[in-house]
Structure formats: C-alpha cells, structure tokens
C-alpha cells in the first residue's frame, strides 16, 4: 500500500480552524478583561457576559472539531534539526495549549453554573445544569477560570514568540506551514 507523502503545510481546514480559534481566543480574553471591570450589574455587562459564554462554548466546539480534523489529517513534519529536548518542549507546548483550550471554557461553564446562571448558547440551546448554585464553588471556579485564562494567554504568547524566533532568528521557515502565502522549508 503506497504511503501518503508528508505535506509541507497544514491543510486549509486546519489553517482555518487555527486562525478562527486564535481570533476567538483573543476576543474572549479581551472581552473577559473588559467586562469584569465594569462596576455593578448593568444590562450591557450582562450582555457581555452572555456573549463571552457563547464565544467560550463556540471555541470549545471548534476545539472538538479541530481535534477530530487533526486526528484525520496528515501533518507536516517538524524540521529535521529539531531533535531531543527541543522536540519534547515543542510537543509539550502543543499539548499544554490543547489542554488549556479545553480546561478554560469548562471552568467558565462551571463558574457560571455555580453562580446560578445556566449557559444558554446563543440564547437558544441550554447546556445541561450539572451543578447547582453554590457560592463557595462559584468562588473556586471563578478563580480557576481566571487562572486558566491567564495560563492560556501565557502559552499562546510563548507559542507565537517561539514561532517567530524559529522563523526569523533560527531562519527555519515554519510560519508558512500555517500561514498561506509564506515560504516553507522543504523537510
């Protein structure tokens, strides 16, 4: 049985999912920072909280799709010069990103439920209420959601910085694997 050649780039669907999630994560984080600083409870603040939840559920769904697409795709190989410890760091970083993209919305969902607010996606689909209002749990999940969001921001920043470092400082053309139109080194 002939083997499938290793592509030099990610497939267009993986690129689309990657950039849609990058944009969605940036908006969700920015919205989260902004809305928590609005004093009191206003209709606008409540609207932002709902939009933030809808975006979190949407990003969770996109992540599930992304995992399935990734599992069914032939991925480009890493540069041959990346070996040993560097490969452990690269793969650990990617696993950590996926874990935090999964954990952060789950903690937000639990925080909303513990605060006594069910999550109704786009005002239409009510997600299951798996825990009931509990002020003590609300505090715990609020703190964990915030910490996980900051952890995700740190991981994303590290991901971007390392990609830029490899591209321009190490002269390893890897950005073209995920950005259409850029040159990519043949492996």
Residue 64 has pLDDT above 90, yes or no: yes
The Cβ of residue 66 has, within 10 Å, a number of other Cβ atoms equal to 20
Residue 80, pLDDT score: 83
Please report the pLDDT score of residue 3 as a whole number: 67
Question: Which of 67-81, 92-106, 143-157, 173-187 is least confident?
Answer: 173-187
pLDDT one-digit tens code per residue, 74-90 = 999 888 888 889 899 99
Task: For residue 150, count other CB atoms closer than 10 A to its CB.
Answer: 13
Three-state SS across the chain? CCCCCCCCCCCHHHHHHHHHHHHHHHHHHHHHHHHHCCCCCCHHHHHHHHHHHHHHHHHHHHHHHHHHHHHCCCCCCCCCCCCCHHHHHHHHHHHHHHHHHHHHHHHHHHHHHHCCCCCEECCCEECCCCCCCCHHHHHHHHHHHHHHHHHHHHHHHHHHHHHHHHHHHCCCCCHHHCCCCCCCCCC
What residue segments make up the domains of the chain, in order of their start?
Answer: 12-73+82-177
Q: Yes or no: say if 35 and 45 are a contact pair by the CB < 8 Å rule.
A: yes
Q: What torsion, rounded to 10 degrees, do the Cα atoms 10, 15, 19, 22 define?
A: -40
Is the model's pLDDT at 62 over the cut of 90?
yes
- Whose structure tokens read 């697409």? 69
Does the structure show a pLDDT above 80 at 125?
yes
Residue 84: what pLDDT? 87
- pLDDT in the model for residue 186: 63
Q: What is the reported pLDDT for 149? A: 98
**Tokens, residue 93:** 């970083």
Tell me phi and psi for residue 126, to 5 degrees. Answer: -85, 125
- Average the pLDDT over 125-144 and give the result: 97
Structure confidence at residue 183 (pLDDT): 82
Domain 12-73+82-177 has CATH 1.20.950.20: yes
Each residue's pLDDT tens digit, 104-115: 999 999 999 999
Mean of all residue pLDDT scores within the chain: 93
**Mean predicted confidence (pLDDT) in 107-126:** 96
Query: Residue 94, Cβ neighbours under 10 Å: how many?
Result: 12
Please report the pLDDT score of residue 185 as a whole number. Answer: 72
Question: How large is the average pLDDT for residues 53-72?
Answer: 97
């Amino acid at each position: 049985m002939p083997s499938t050649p290793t592509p030099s780039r990610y497939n267009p669907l993986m690129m689309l999912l990657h950039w849609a999630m990058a944009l969605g994560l940036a908006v969700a984080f920015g919205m989260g920072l902004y809305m928590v600083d609005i004093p009191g409870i206003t209709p606008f603040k409540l609207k932002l909280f709902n939009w933030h939840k809808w975006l979190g559920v949407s990003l969770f769904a996109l992540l599930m799709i992304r995992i399935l697409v990734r599992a069914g795709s032939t991925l480009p190989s890493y540069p041959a010069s990346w070996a040993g410890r560097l490969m452990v760091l690269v793969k650990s970083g990617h696993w950590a990103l996926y874990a935090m993209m999964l954990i952060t919305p789950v903690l937000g969902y639990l925080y909303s439920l513990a605060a006594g607010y069910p999550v109704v996606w786009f005002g239409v689909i009510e997600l299951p209420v798996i825990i009931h209002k509990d002020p003590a749990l609300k505090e715990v999940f609020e703190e964990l959601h915030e910490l996980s969001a900051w952890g995700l921001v740190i991981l994303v920043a590290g991901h971007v910085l390392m990609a830029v470092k490899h591209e321009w400082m190490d002269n390893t053309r890897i950005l073209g694997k995920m950005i259409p139109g850029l040159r990519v080194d043949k492996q």
